[in-house]
Amino acid sequence: MHIGLVGLGKMGGNMRERLRRGGVEVTGYDPNPEVTDVADLAALAAALPAPRVVWIMVPSGAITDQVIADVSAVLEPGDLVIDGGNSRFTDDAVHSAQLAEKKIRFVDCGVSGGIWGLENGYGLMAGGDPADIEELLPVFDALRPEGPRDEGFVHAGSVGAGHYSKMVHNGIEYALMQAWAEGFELMDARDDLIHDVPGVFKAWQRGTVVRSWLLELLVKALEADPELADIEGYVEDSGEGRWTVHDALDHAVPVPTISAAIFARFVSRQKDSPSMKAVAALRKQFGGHAVRKA
């Protein structure tokens, strides 16, 4: 099988390599001349056999919108576009309709694996027509981890289901990371009792109910920097957590743990939290509790 891949950054570049290792021929395009295989999108389309398959792996939002428009201009009826970025699931219906006007097929695919995906494989959640998904199985099989297909790939549903699944995945990830972070802070605060915080986490890696890949990654981070002294406590969010909460509100589904994890990230961006100032002021007013001067 021969596909095109647009976007050869940290994820896309590694995906190109894993696909090639898995026997899928890949022609990649990126504006960066140091990594691209072809000069432009027209050359990419010319290099692919019909019906063409083009996987788009670029940042979500306006960039994805533009790339889909640009790619559609060089494709033909019957070709197939896959959006493998972190697009919001509501964008998928828009993109699918735009491409359908030119009789170009569309599949969305949530991709998890980050920088480790090249060696470990990527978790894949696809949305689209069953016939299109069947056609793409060689691609999905090359990207997913070794082992049973249904433990690394799912046809989650119709267009939009792949990105929706990835959105919920990332919302859960926010909550899990926050739990690990709070456990670290609590044990770190009890240095009178706990003398080896990294060692405690490492001892949980086998046999405990909380063992996980996130735990392994936390152990790696703590072994490199036991007090995390080289890292500022400022955490961004890429959007999926917010989208998860938005959709939960729309459908009256309680997600208090995921919501709390997102709000905790917002707190991390405040050098001197205005809300905590207000709490301190209120405690002084009603109870005469001491406050710390700025």
Asked if 293 is an active-site residue, the reply is no
Name the catalytic one among 76, 119, 151, 166. Answer: 166
Asked if 240 is an active-site residue, the reply is no
Other beta carbons within 10 angstroms of residue 145's beta carbon come to 17
List, as own/partner pairs, every contact residues 23-29 make where C-beta atoms lie below 8 angstroms and the sequence separation is at least 24, other chains included: 23/138, 23/142, 24/138, 24/139, 24/142, 25/1, 26/2, 27/2, 27/3, 28/4, 29/4, 29/5
Name the catalytic one among 34, 134, 151, 173. Answer: 173
Catalogue the active-site residues: 166, 173
